[in-house]
Structure 1
């Protein structure tokens, strides 16, 4: 019997825990990290230092004989794995490439140099958290953190009052924000000083067009496409309702997306690893616009690729960590023609339904043995923070597969009925009248015209690497 390969698995939770669990027959995983979304695990944010963590894991890897190290965790894991691989001389993504992709303002600057036709107008928000925002901005604008994950604090604002309210935080919120950003910023100050501080927000021109995700990998400097996943939004919101694979996007547009990814990734020195590129495509104007790059696998989609393509992205991540070409991995027989990640949300606190009890969960699995269910109940400050930072509360996710789109809809309606949750094919509850104007997921010829760079009002704000 062959000996299992020992791999370091950092911040290995949720989708990644499921993905790596399937590979324990070939590999043995040494885990480290903590769950940002559960107490008391997330109490480790207090005093967390990414460099010290990486040093400790590198020392552990030497003792334990790690052959590779992996993480698909956006906030800390991807950068930690890159630092550990560098220290141990193992295959991995260059830490500077991870920093360059995750620093959203720096990434926009790079994209502007190598592929400006896929970029959009952008600028740093030239003020500290909670300070008065500039008066000379033109609205609407899209505001988001320079470093964040899961669309936290990213939203469209219609006027200065909304922007001011969105960037004013209480003491508890500031505590969380600073401790989420500082570990990244500390490494960035040493390894990517030209990026400037990540402790700030940035502005972008809003885009009204359908949204997609290109997933892929880079091996020996060449980018390859794993596939494209379509985003379907809750109507008249910025909130994801479903993710579906395979994509309905034309093959030639998918090829264009890969070309953009190759240019950007080469420019930041990303020569090895999995990546995810979020982008808009407007079929009216034929314009493809990058939203952002993520220097790791979009783990939520890995299960969709397994069901529809017979490809295991987590196995691909291990192959890359071992210096192997993931294209050589064998595929399995697909189990479905279409698969979806169904996102259940509430848009008001009183719209949060009850979580399914043991009987409902058992009934779901009896009716749909292929289903994956995640429940994410929150209350108190955590729930209030969701509504402020995200504009909604994501309380559950279900994965289902089907022969075709019609069967997928029928199965989703039935599964939602069993759980007692509104199906993610219908309009959400009424939003509060104070809610900001949403980004619409559909396009019109007028609204979807590509933004013009010259003279756009937000470009009047200085774009510098200085601290606000």
Structure 2
């Protein structure tokens, strides 16, 4: 394998790039008939993009699954059975689809791999994907293949006793063996902190059980994995900057999409923005690529997208936070704007076993995914009005805003489980970093929202 930049990744950006204009699809020859693509667990980031590809006449999408973070769709979690879902998709679509696609971390990527395998379509190896998603099994494999990248870790149950909590080394970082969106991931400074963090009401216990049950259902048919998802991982506390490495594996070769800085709210481990391109020098860039290649080869990931998160300590030491074997859909448009890569078109081509589309010259010098959060049990301070949204569409037509206001028990649960409440996300490009910041602060001023820059 050889990790390779797609064409134009390092090209200079056009001085005349502006934020106006329509996001056009890449020029691809129209096939004899639309490709039939099964999309599993598409959510907010897919929702606005997939219709554009459907309108091109090249694809016909069949969508199944539910949105884990929106009611009433997420009520289906209470009775969801992974294997029954896979069996139903296989029975319904055998001979009727050409590809399976998902960018969803919690259930979609695994379900897509299982369906593709059963239907003989291109897809990730389910066993390799399961190992990467299972944080304990992933740490065990990482310790074998690249021990210098692996933090010290230990497995604990959800119902840890005070005696067992006291024998751990503090401060520590705790996270579930299987979760998404950093649910229940938290720094704990004392045994009392850990015990309090893992104290749940009966309804919370039921939700947690349902969240991890599909992963456990999958593990039962893969005897090489002996640790259920009903555990947590405790790790040494890591400090330093975080860098996101996105790419894809195709035809035995590893390709880089781009790197982004993961910037936090001060004094927290909560993301404030993902900024692309990352500010890395040539030496660090090469080290990150080398580490990425070792990890992917060691995990046997040979098809599809990947998203790796690294810590870079003050002394330059690299540690792998986690490996996500799927497209980071929140950053898909960022790669298009800054690196000229249409990741959805690329993903469909890989799933269809077609020639991959060429990257285009990048249109912007910087882009970011901005995240607004509260830490005090409140939600969005002011929802944008219809006039505000019209202003955003007129002034910044490429900007994409997603709103996630919550209240009541669901808001309090999010504060407890995530340590904060993510109430809005804005993806936006700029001519350069300074221009991007100016545009972000214009949005903050118009909406009356706080700036985290």
Fold match by TM threshold 0.5: yes
- 1:131–1:50 distance in 2 versus 1, CA, 3 Å: farther
Instruction: Pick the aligned partner of 2:81 from 22, 40, 49.
Output: 49
Counterpart residue number, 2:105: 74
1:137-286 → structure 2 map (5 Å cutoff):
137-282=168-313, 284-286=314-316
Instruction: Pick the aligned partner of 1:381 from 404, 409, 413.
Output: 409
Report which stretch shifted further, 138-147 or 15-24: 15-24
Distance 1:214 1:317 in 2: 17
Counterpart residue number, 2:93: 61
Counterpart residue number, 1:364: 392
Distance 2:372 2:271 in 1: 9
C-alpha contact 1:217 1:274 (8 A) present in aligned 2: yes
C-alpha contact 1:123 1:202 (8 A) present in aligned 2: yes
**Structure 2 spans left out of the alignment, 5+ residues:** 1-29
Instruction: Pick the aligned partner of 2:321 from 291, 307, 324.
Output: 291
C-alpha contact 2:382 2:447 (8 A) present in aligned 1: no
**SS of 2:312 mapped into structure 1:** strand
Instruction: Pick the aligned partner of 2:435 from 404, 407, 416.
Output: 407
Distance 2:286 2:355 in 1: 21
C-alpha contact 1:96 1:192 (8 A) present in aligned 2: no
Distance 1:202 1:169 in 2: 18
Distance 2:224 2:190 in 1: 32
Distance 2:201 2:280 in 1: 42
C-alpha contact 2:380 2:405 (8 A) present in aligned 1: no
Alignment of 1:339 onto 2:367:
yes
C-alpha contact 1:130 1:168 (8 A) present in aligned 2: no
Alignment of 1:390 onto 2:418:
yes
TM-score (norm 2): 0.89
Alignment of 1:90 onto 2:121:
yes
Report which stretch shifted further, 354-363 or 339-348: 354-363
Distance 1:336 1:228 in 2: 15
Displacement of 1:268: 2.7
Summarize deviations over 1:152-198 as a string: whole Å, max 9, x none: 11111100010001111111211111101010111112215434111
Counterpart residue number, 1:8: 38
Summarize deviations over 1:290-313 as a string: whole Å, max 9, x none: 000001011111110111122111
C-alpha contact 1:71 1:81 (8 A) present in aligned 2: yes
TM-score (norm 1): 0.87
Q: CA RMSD in A?
A: 1.6
Distance 1:254 1:27 in 2: 36
**Structure 1 spans left out of the alignment, 5+ residues:** 426-468
- 1:128–1:423 distance in 2 versus 1, CA, 3 Å: closer
Q: How many residues align?
A: 420
